[in-house]
Amino acid sequence: MTAMKQPLGTLLVVSGPSGSGKTTLCRRATENGLCVYSISCTTRQPRPGEVNGVDYHFLTPAEFDARVERGDFLEYAEVHGNRYGTLKADILTLLEQGKNVVMDIDVQGAGQVRSCREGILPLCYVDVYIYVPQAELKNRLCGRQTDGAETIALRLRNAEQEDACLPQYQYCLVSSDRETDYASFCALLKCQSMRVGLMR
CA angle 120, 113, 117 (to 5 degrees): 40
Answer yes or no: is pLDDT of 2 > 80.
Answer: no
- Helix or strand or coil: residue 39? coil
Q: How far apart are CA 18 and CA 49, in angstroms?
A: 27
Query: Backbone dihedral region of 52: left (phi > 0), alpha (psi from -120 to 50 degrees) or beta?
Result: beta
The pLDDT assigned to 65 comes to 97
Contact yes or no for 147/35 (Cβ under 8 A): no
Q: How far apart are CA 40 and CA 38, in angstroms?
A: 6
Domain boundaries along the sequence of the chain: 11-194
The CATH code of domain 11-194 reads 3.40.50.300
Q: How far apart are CA 43 and CA 63, in angstroms?
A: 9
Contact yes or no for 67/83 (Cβ under 8 A): no
What is the total residue count of the chain?
200
Q: How far apart are CA 185 and CA 189, in angstroms?
A: 6
Answer yes or no: is pLDDT of 7 > 80.
Answer: yes
The pLDDT assigned to 28 comes to 96
Q: In percent, how much of the chain has pLDDT > 90?
A: 80
Q: In percent, how much of the chain has pLDDT > 70?
A: 98
pLDDT in tens, 72-88: 999 999 887 899 999 99
pLDDT band, residue 1 (cuts 50/70/90): low
CA distance readout (Å), 174 to 8, 32, 134, 167:
28, 22, 12, 14
pLDDT band, residue 147 (cuts 50/70/90): confident
Bridging pattern class, strands 125-131 and 101-104: unpaired
The pLDDT assigned to 63 comes to 98
Beta carbons within 8 Å of 83's beta carbon, 6+ residues apart: 42, 43, 61, 64, 76, 77
Which residues share a beta bridge with 57?
A: 41
pLDDT in tens, 14-59: 999 999 999 899 999 999 999 998 889 999 999 899 999 988 999 9
